[in-house]
Structure 1
Amino acid sequence: MAMVTHPLPIPNCLRRLLPRSGVVSAGYVAALALGTAVASAALVSACHEPFDPGQVLVAVVVSGNAQQATVGQALPEPLLVQVKDAQGRVVYGVSVEFAVTVGGGSVSPAASVIGSSGFASTRWTLGTSTAAAHAVVARVVDPRSGAVADTVAFRATALAGPAVTLAKIAGDSQTGDIGATLAQRLTVQSRDQYGNGVPGTPVSWSLSSPGLGGGLSPTLGSTDVSGLSYAQWTLGPRLSTTFGARAAAPALSAISFTAVSGSNLTPTALVAVLGDAQTVMSGTIAPESVGVQVSVRSPTDTSRSYVVGLPVTFGVTSGGGSITPAAVNTNSQGVARAVWTLGAAMGQHVATATLGGRSVTLSALGVAPTLTAVGDSQVAYVGTTPIESVGVRVTSLACCNGVAGVTVAFGVTGGGGSITPAQALTDANGTARVQWTLGSAPGINTATATVGTQSATLTARGIQPVAVTAIAAGGQHSCAIAASGGTYCWGANAQGQLGDGTTTDRRTGVAVLGGALASLAAGSEHTCGLDAAGTAYCWGRNVAGQLGDGTTTSRSVPAAVAGAPPFRSLAAGGEHTCGLTAAGTAYCWGDNAVGQLGDSTRTARTQPVAVAGGLVFTKLVTGLVHTCGLTAAGVAYCWGQNDMGQLGAATSQVCNPPSSSSVACSLAPVRVATTLAFTDLAGGARHACALTGAGAAFCWGEGSQSLDPLPSQPSFARLASGFSWGWNCAATAAGQEYCWEFYWYDYYGSYRWISPAYAVAGALSFDGLAIGSSNHMCSTATGTRYAYCWGSNDRGQLGDGSTTWRGAPTPVLLPTP
């Protein structure tokens, strides 16, 4: 052990611990140097010398100062005091008295004698107020005289307890100007059980009747260090009104405030803000209400406010007519509005709005009506009613403002027939509609709609009905076979797909040259048909051999398909064609860049080639660059391009078509990945759809090979033939036709979508259904077998003699026998 000569005075009671050499351990010296109460107590634990009357007593705070606790609670640590003499030695046997001097509360015990531990101690319980710092004094009592020899003080901070109540402090029952902020803030205090303010309590401020207007700021906050929360209150725009506000805190009862708006405000402005200077059809209700706004300026505030509840009177001063109501109170924006019905006179009409001694003039220009034909230029069979009702839209200008409640008179002026009713009122959009039954003679029918001195002419074309036995829709053309035996096509003809020996577009049916045909199939820009013996003929575009005549020369008249067996049905795609024999054997020809012919090659064929696999099909359908077939067991197979999942199954083959990058494909039929059994099949440009025995339609492709059912679909009996970009149609057993959308959308973001089935407009039922790739549809009506088309018509593919888009089935104009 290292030893040093002790340089400091050593208490007599410890000298017996020293060796005669007069040296002590370094540990002893270190303990003295620490000077802590614990070290000193350890060194003198063997000393119990009584108090020396000659000693000077000094009080020392050991611990327990500057603590904090909740009001009414004991501090976590005791108060410790040590008494020393002038030489810093601990003195024993001395009494220390404790007493609370500030803040209330208590100490226990009130006196403590310093014993062998070397300390006097007590426990301090705080008072119930947080108003000031709490204090306790410790007094050392001189045993000789009983006098106080020394004192030390302890301080503590009292914290508020949990909030138990919310108290109203200021801001209640004030009076202020409308739209003005009250002079005194609304103030509440969160308090504990002793009435101390509790900081940090969340307080929300809200209006008791928000509909009266005004506002509070802030609407949410927390109490400050004094437990206070404040809000500024701006009154709403209502005179002589009692407003309410409330302050609320979690688990505490809310506090309510009231304030009253003054009544000494005088309107300073009356301004027309609605319906002034309108142009209105004379004798009708102005489309926009007329209105004025009342603003005021308070005596104490230069800003304007809008006042609720002030009575404004309206009256007509020239032009006739009326305004209702004649008197109306201003609303929450200070606006009073009324409805102005103009008199029958043309020209300027004037009305006045009045409040007290102030008034403002409102004007309107009465004009003659403008009539615009609705449902004009339709085509219908003679003696029938066009699909869309006809009528006029009545406006007070050349556009836009439809006038409701106007009586319109209708009458036939040419072509015979009738209109019912003879008079009709315009609806909220300004439109009056009637039913027009055309005359019995083909040609243009005319009718007139009249309002006052103004009129509009309506036209419709009556055509002789022609029954058809088959109908087909292609890219931008359509074809039908008349019951009398002729085949007719109409629409785009740049590639000769109408088969009339020309390349001229046709807006009505034109006869296809050649012999009689029994069935049809239309592709993107080519058409094919079968005669009664099953011989196939094709015409139109032939760049890939899709006509099957052994060449790649386009034809404007039908050419026989070379080397073909008799077929019972045909399907035409983008640039390929397929046929099905009576035995169910499938053949295809034309483009084969992605395996759409199904012969296990990618070689284009100018004559039919058998589809690989030996499958027996009951139906074939084509898409843009894929083909599908249905077996008698209800199993669907597909082949060709598969980049959008149009084959309904995963494939491992990759094709490299000339016009695009590598794509998934299958050169031979693959089974659609489902256990469902189907009864019908339909193609799409990049998808396919099938029908179950229960009449449920499922589609696949357009970005996924999974089969998706139509949402909210009826039970279908058959699907439409042909293929379209994103559209399919089907009919119920009763002949009601429905159509739906199914496509991959990637303009603003990629997603795959299938819509509910939409019922086709009109009361017709259909049995023959065809859909074209330019989103037009054609069908034959049940019973009559008359042909109707609708949808896109930019190349005349609807056959109604126009290029007008039609949103409802429109009769096709075909030559009569």
Structure 2
Amino acid sequence: MQTLRALVWVLLLGCGSRTAYVQAPPTEADVVIHVPCQGARCGPPPAPPPPPPQIPPPRMLAAGYDHSCALTEDGGVYCWGSNQYGQLGEVGDERTWVPGRVPGLPRMDAVWAGADQTCARAEEDGRVWCWGETGLPDDAEGPLQLVYADVRQVALGHRRGCVVDEGGRAFCWGDVRPPYGPRWRTPQRVPIDAPVEIVWNMQRGCALLQRGELRCWGLVHNYYATERAESPTFRLLGVEGAAMVAMKTENDDEVLVVDRAGRVFVSETGRSRRMQSRDPVLALRRVEGIDDPAQVQAGGSGYCARTGEGTVACWGSNLAGQLGDGTYAARTRPTYLPLTGIRGIAVGQYHVCAHDGARVWCWGENSAGQVGLERPNKIPDPYLVPW
């Protein structure tokens, strides 16, 4: 129905020549209804923010006290967690839960972490770059290149470290404890013959020798190697030669050993003895429930093992959820996690990370973002780190 807006002129009687304009009531044509835009009529929605840069697939993991690092397929090193001592490879002490690439490095092929420091090895010449609280004269806020080439393995502790080169020579620095200390401000050659691997904890170091024995220094089962004594070489009772070794990073005198038959053992506190013939013996007990271990690592108060089939089992203390079984209950026997196809693990003080060649999971203590999650909580289940 057509309607017209009309203005009616009304002459008001008794008002002289004054006139007034009176507007008629609104009709249907005068009503305007505002309806929110919906559906296709509104046009395309605003563009979402761009996704973060994709990180290349992981090849190797490393974990320190409260930081984590990954070597990626393109030779880069990415770190996250605490940066209080520059262990993330960047200036500043801000912690971050987002993996960030360490600047200034050539293409790398291995990464290691210990306490509040990190090292990586250059693919081209096998030289090592380190940063964080290294124990060297100038703790590096950024990567510092060491002089040694053709490095096979790096072992890092609290303000100390060692490298083993392809020739079987070991060089150590920092607070290495007797008989090689008390502290070296630059890397020094240590008289250990043909070490396969070196591990550290808070009080001592141990070297796995090619003949399957352990040579340790510092506090080891009530045996203290003084500056006047040689470091003891332990015979391992009931073990067919050691192939892998791990030590808890806290002040614990327990040693985990995997023999060449793939069996897992831990030393029994108080049952080792020093013989008069300078032939110390390390008594071991079998750990049941681990078959075909391909990698073993120790944290502050527990262990994790990766099997050849790509599964992961952990045991020990679990106050931070570092066993990854969804609880905070300690386990005396290995407990398997719901992960498969795992190619590498890294055990920090109270957190653990694992990767399958494409994805990274972490769990346990997350006070500094070392698990890769923003909220500073304990994470008792494997968390998929945004990659």
Q: TM-score, normalised by structure 2?
A: 0.73
Question: Match of 2:18?
Answer: none
Verify: 1:716 aligned to 2:292, yes or no. yes
Aligned pairs for 1:323-722 within 5 A: 466-515=56-105, 516-532=107-123, 533-542=125-134, 544-545=135-136, 551=137, 553-561=138-146, 563-592=147-176, 594-595=177-178, 600-613=179-192, 615-642=193-220, 645=221, 651=223, 653-654=225-226, 668-676=231-239, 677-685=241-249, 686=252, 687-700=254-267, 705=272, 706-721=282-297
Where relative contact order (Cα < 8 A, 6+ residues apart) is larger, the structure is 2
Aligned residue for 1:764? Answer: 340
Amino acid at match of 2:373: D
Question: What is the match of residue 37 of structure 2?
Answer: none
Q: Report the Cα distance in structure 2 between the residues aligned to 1:633 and 1:670, rounded to whole angstroms.
A: 11
Match of 1:796 among 362, 365, 369: 369
Contact 1:729 1:740 (C-alpha < 8 Å) held by counterparts: yes
Q: Which runs of 4+ in 1 moved over 6 A?
A: none
Mapped contact 2:366–2:376 kept (Cα < 8 A): yes
Helix, strand or coil: the match of 1:757?
strand
1:212-223 → structure 2 map (5 Å cutoff): none
Q: Does the 8 A contact of 1:720 with 1:770 survive in 2?
A: no
- The one-letter amino acid of 2:242's match is F
Amino acid at match of 1:684: K
Please say if residues 729 and 739 of structure 1, whose CA atoms lie closer than 8 Å, have aligned partners that are also in contact: yes
Larger Rg: 1 or 2? 1
2:186 alignment partner, SS class: strand
Alpha-carbon separation, structure 2, partners of 1:590 and 1:811: 35
Classify 1:652/1:802 alpha carbon distance in 2 versus 1 (closer, same or farther; 3 Å): closer
Give a deviation string over 1:76-113, Cα, whole Å, max 9, x none. xxxxxxxxxxxxxxxxxxxxxxxxxxxxxxxxxxxxxx
Distance in 2 (CA, whole Å) between partners of 1:701 and 1:586 is 28
TM-fit CA distance, 1:582: 0.7
* SS, match of residue 777 in structure 1: strand
Give the equivalent residue in structure 1 for 2:34: none
Post-superposition shift, 1:703? 5.8
- Deviation (angstroms), 1:673: 4.0
SS of aligned partner of 2:231: strand
Superposition deviation, residue 462 in structure 1:
11
Q: CA deviation at 1:466?
A: 4.1
Q: CA deviation at 1:502?
A: 2.2
Give the 3-state SS of the residue equivalent to 1:638 in structure 2.
strand
* Offset from partner CA, 1:776-796 (integer Å, 9 cap, x none): 011111xx3422111111110
Could you tell me which runs of 5 or more consecutive residues in structure 2 were left unpaired when the two chains were aligned.
1-47, 273-281, 319-329
Distance 1:504 1:688, change over 3 A: same
Relative distance call for 1:795 and 1:564 in structure 2 (3 A) is same
Identity value in percent: 24
2:41 counterpart residue number: none
**Letter paired with 1:700:** S
Match of 1:316 in 2: none
Q: Measured at CA, do residues 811 and 742 of structure 1 come closer, stay the same or move farther in structure 2, by a change above 3 Å?
A: closer
Which amino acid is 1:765 matched to?
Answer: G
Contact 1:618 1:629 in 2 (8 A): yes
Deviation at 1:495, TM superposition (A): 0.6
Q: What CA distance in whole angstroms lies between the structure 2 residues aligned with 1:681 and 1:470?
A: 19
Alpha carbons of 1:576 and 1:526: their partners in 2 closer, same or farther (altered >3 Å)?
Answer: same
Q: How well do the aligned residues superpose, as a CA RMSD in angstroms?
A: 3.0
CA displacement, residues 225-255 of structure 1 (integer Å, 9 cap, x when unaligned)? xxxxxxxxxxxxxxxxxxxxxxxxxxxxxxx
Q: SS in structure 1 opposite 2:333?
A: coil
Q: Which amino acid aligns with 1:507?
A: W
Are the equivalent residues in 1 in contact too, given 2:215–2:231 (CA < 8 A)?
Answer: no
1:463–1:487 CA distance, 2 compared to 1 (3 A): closer
SS in 2 for 1:756: strand
Q: CA deviation at 1:710?
A: 4.8
Aligned residues: 314
Distance apart, 1:808 and its partner CA: 2.1
1:779 equivalent to 2:371? Answer no
The one-letter code of the counterpart of 2:246 is: A
Q: Secondary structure at the match of 1:680?
A: strand
**Secondary structure of 1:808's aligned partner:** strand
Contact 1:564 1:607 (8 Å CA) reproduced: no
Structure 1 residue 487 displacement after superposition: 0.9
- Give the superposition deviation at 1:539: 0.8
For 1:778, the aligned partner's letter is C
Query: Where does structure 1 lack aligned partners over 5 or more consecutive residues?
Result: 1-441, 444-460, 546-550, 656-664, 744-752
What are the superposed Cα offsets for residues 187-229 of structure 1, whole Å, 9 maximum, x if unpaired?
xxxxxxxxxxxxxxxxxxxxxxxxxxxxxxxxxxxxxxxxxxx
